[in-house]
Structure 1
Amino acid sequence: MNLGQATFERGRYRHAIAHFKAALSLSNPMGSSGGEIQLWLVNAYIAAGDDAAGLALCRKLILHPDLETKRQSKRLLYILEAPELEMKPEWVTKIPDLSSLEDDRGRQYAQKAKKPRRRKPKPDPEPIDLSEVNTADNQFVWIALIGILLTLGGLAWLS
């Protein structure tokens, strides 16, 4: 089964179908592992384009004795039988085909290597003249100290 899952995840759906069928022949199809293998087989059929075989097996799995397999197959069948949504043209972004452009034409728009710019050194800041700075005490230190002491006193009181 692991080999089938690995090939399925690589996109080799026909090989995955063969691996899942081989794994199913080696296990009990009515057991939980057999149900899981068959669910993977349904996905492989659908991915390979064999929708009829995938839907038929999924409908068969609805009657499987394992409850988890039965539940998963009902969900999967609901998704597979859902009507296809209508795609409005304004929902689709069209990507132009660039394969028709000439090879040399792309060279016209190629960016040239940029030369690294030399940054001008920033001038050193002028030293601050302390005679112009207001160094008068504005009592903030005392207010902050009193606030800290009140906070510590309140915490000591409450503890």
Structure 2
Amino acid sequence: MAGGGTWPQCAEILGIPRITAEHSLTVLKRSLLPSGHWPLLDVAVETVAKELDTAAALRVDFAARRRTLSTWQIPAEDLEALTAGLTRLARVDSPLTQSVVTALVWARVTQGDYLHSPTVEALRQAQQSTKLVVAAIGQLQTPSNRRGARLRFLLRINDYADGLASGP
């Protein structure tokens, strides 16, 4: 946007599916236009874009992170380390767990939505259900479930992702 791009162009650059971006804009407009707040949002977004443009040295290239992680999956040995000692979690070494962890790490490292992670997108493209992965992530992220082994697992996933994001 700092370079004069439109909202849909910005979404495309960020790897946000066009339909998702259009839906988000529709919801925002529905909420902000009647109250006259759309111009405030527009100014705020433009201000942030300009600040980011001037602070180029501090910017994280999330597009590069998404490209790097586009085919990445959690290595088996890393998954084993993340799940070590978490005996109360069922089937921590399953392909489902690998998909869940891969999607959550992708989301944290790229600051994206796990629903748009390559893992979930691959299931959609293969016309397979995403329900199991989405439900398992929901179980981990539901605040009332954040205790015991699930909490330790989620914290380990976040620490792992933060380590990847900070680089070597």
Q: Which has the larger radius of gyration?
A: 1
TM-score above 0.5, yes or no? no
Q: TM-score, normalised by structure 1?
A: 0.23
Structure number with the bigger relative contact order (C-alpha 8 A, sep ≥ 6) is 2
More helix by share: 2
TM-score for both structures, normalised by structure 2: 0.22
